[in-house]
């Protein structure tokens, strides 16, 4: 096993990480690093250019450009951990189905990603089917979906007491459901 330093190779800043997740973020540089292979592969950290209206908490999504069946669309995979498994918290799906290309700018996160790129890619292929073949007429399969251009997307959720609201999809979650991350 190869050791990987948890400092940014550009600015030597401390990387924001979750235990056991091979994905780290340098907020000062707006870069993320995937070190699942033992090397630090750089990815951009982008922030959705939405006005959160007041206090906000920037939560991580992993964005891919998906292609398959002659079409293409952005795919957003929720990369923050929530404790309410089995509830309809499916924000990445809502963002993906709307297939909205969001304006972005270099960004930062308030919560470390709790999902690696490879796991996110597996989920992303299934999410892409909901956009690329919504009615199933193309018989598109996850293996036929190609993903490219991964980036970390910081979505600024509005803070309203104990509730967090996504300004794009409208999803609301309790702040206490963030598995103690915020």
Mean pLDDT for back-to-back runs of 10 residues, the chain (182 residues): 66 88 92 84 90 82 92 89 58 64 88 91 88 85 91 92 85 78 51
Question: Looking at residue 181, what is its pLDDT?
Answer: 52
Distance CA 55, CA 49 (A): 15
What's 86's DSSP letter?
T
- Local structure of residue 115 (DSSP, 8 states): S
Q: How many CB atoms lie within 10 A of CB 58?
A: 19
Give residue 4's Cα distance to chain centre: 22
| Contact predicate 25/45, CB 8 Å | yes
Q: Check residue 174 and give its pLDDT.
A: 84
Domain ranges of the chain: 46-177
For the chain, how many residues are written?
Answer: 182
SS3 118: helix
Report the pLDDT value the prediction gives residue 179, as an integer from 0 to 100. 65
Q: For residue range 124-140, list pLDDT tens digits in order.
A: 998 888 888 888 888 88
3-state helix, strand, coil in the chain (%, to 5): 15, 35, 50
């Amino acid at each position: 096993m190869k050791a990987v330093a948890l400092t940014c190779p550009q600015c030597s800043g401390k990387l924001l990480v979750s235990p056991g997740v091979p994905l780290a973020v340098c907020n000062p540089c707006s870069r993320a690093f995937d070190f699942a292979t033992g090397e630090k592969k750089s990815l951009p950290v982008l922030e959705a250019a939405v006005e959160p209206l007041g206090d906000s908490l920037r939560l991580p999504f992993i964005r891919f450009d998906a292609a398959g069946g002659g079409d293409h669309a952005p795919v957003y995979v929720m990369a923050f951990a929530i404790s309410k498994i089995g509830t309809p918290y499916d924000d990445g799906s809502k963002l993906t189905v709307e297939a909205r290309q969001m304006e972005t700018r270099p960004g930062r996160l308030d919560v470390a990603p709790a999902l690696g790129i490879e796991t996110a890619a597996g989920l992303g292929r299934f999410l892409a089917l909901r956009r690329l073949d919504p009615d199933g007429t193309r018989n598109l399969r996850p293996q036929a979906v190609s993903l490219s251009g991964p980036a970390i997307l910081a979505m600024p959720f509005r803070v309203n007491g104990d509730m967090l609201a996504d300004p794009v999809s409208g999803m609301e979650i309790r702040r206490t459901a963030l598995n103690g991350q915020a």
